[in-house]
Amino acid sequence: MNDTTTEGESASTSAPSFAPFVCAESPALGTEAHKGEGKILLAAPRGYCAGVDRAVDVVEKALDLYGAPVYVRKEIVHNKYVVESLTKRGAVFVQEVDEIPEGARVVFSAHGVSPHVHDRAEARQLASIDATCPLVTKVHREAVRFAKEDYDIILVGHQGHEEVEGTFGEAPAHIQVVGTPDEVDQIEVRDPSRVVWISQTTLSVDETRETVARLRRRFPQLIDPPSDDICYATQNRQVAVKTIAPQVDVMIVVGSANSSNSVRLVEVALEAGAGCAHRVDVAAELQESWFHGASVVGLTSGASVPEILVCEVVHWLQARGFPKVEEVRTQTETTTFALPRNLRAELAAHGLADARPHAPRKAGPDHTH
Ligand code: SF4
């Protein structure tokens, strides 16, 4: 099994399925009798994707194996709650590898790092574990290959996002970053017949399509990436939100402000017809005024959000006139990724399990505020 093995693929369902909802993370939540006529439509898939699940598992297993501290460059995934939980267990989050004591152990986040960061880590003799999502690594490889073939590469993505910085760093002399369709007009290339586009994995599918259409108008011979760079999890969560959005008065997206895919879900919900949409990190940020006059609330969560945070929002809404919960599933996901090779070897050497998928994650003492 290599680092990018997927055990199963996303399976489509021909039509959305509907099911009552019980919080698997905390079945006791929301069991009280609640009054009201309001309904919650819960999008599925939502929450943890395979890359986030693996990255969090990497830090947890590294803590089990080596003990604290385990240094992590940047947020392992873009979710406050996850970062706080892992900090309580002994993970130390830093911005750059230069902040880490020489010879210590570092985990690189799910968003990926540029070769320069790997070089800096090596210069400091850090023992690194790379939790970059295999689907981000795939985009890095595309960048390297197209740069070797001397193409001009247009990287569609958000300037300043860690994933974009990492991919850009693979071939800075060949890559230009384009954030919006309007930015396409500013691009200059050496040879319009040798231009290729790649993208960040967590973009809005529709906006990216628009950006690429603009690129193609300017460069008719534009070359597509070999396969979709926007990952399965991003696409599936957007499809689920689009399906319920026309039926909801208010859409709530659970996710952090720096989570690209969570922010995109708010935009997608609004574009697909939700009356209004709000992003919150936790239930405590919800405001009662958002739900005045609403009868149906849509609910989803970004790819880095633990399910317990969704359960808490469900519970909050149930206590405020939205007792019924219906899960609307548009896709069933079965993708998992193997742990990084060096971590697997170390776990095996210490007789510790490296099996994936691991047993379902439970909210416990490590996952409390
Ligand atoms: S959102 Fe997609 S690319 Fe990002 S970690 Fe999850 S599966 Fe990987």
pLDDT in tens, 204-257: 999 999 999 999 999 999 999 999 999 999 999 999 999 999 999 999 999 999
Whether 172 contacts 154, CB under 8 Å: no
What is the average pLDDT score of the chain?
Answer: 92
Q: Is 22 exposed, middle or buried (0-12, 13-18, 19+ CB in 10 A)?
A: middle
Phi, psi of 231 (to 5 degrees): -75, 165
Which amino acid belongs to residue 281? D
pLDDT at res. 29: 57
How many angstroms is it from 62 CA to the middle of ligand 1?
21
3-state helix, strand, coil in the chain (%, to 5): 40, 20, 40
Asked whether residue 18 carries a pLDDT value surpassing 80, the answer given is no
Ligand 1 probe mutation, 46, 79, 133, 262, most atoms within 8 A of CB:
133
The residue-averaged pLDDT of 8-19 equals 61
Please give the Cα distance from 297 to 169 (Å, whole number): 42
Grouping H, G, I as helix, E, B as strand and the rest as coil, residue 199 is strand
Spatial CB neighbours of 327, under 8 Å, sequence gap ≥ 6 = 18, 19, 20, 21, 42, 44
Q: Name which of 280, 292, 362 is nearest 320 in CA terms.
A: 292
State the pLDDT confidence band at 333, using cuts at 50, 70 and 90: very high
Q: Considering only CA atoms, which of 124, 187, 125 is closest in space to residue 154?
A: 187
Residue 3's pLDDT is what?
Answer: 42
Whole-prediction pTM value? 0.91
Reduced to 3 states, what is the DSSP secondary structure of residue 316?
A: helix
Residue list, ligand 1 pocket, CB within 6 Å:
49-52, 110, 133, 135-136, 201-202, 231, 233-234, 261, 303
Q: Can 163 be counted among the known catalytic residues?
A: yes
pLDDT of residue 36: 84
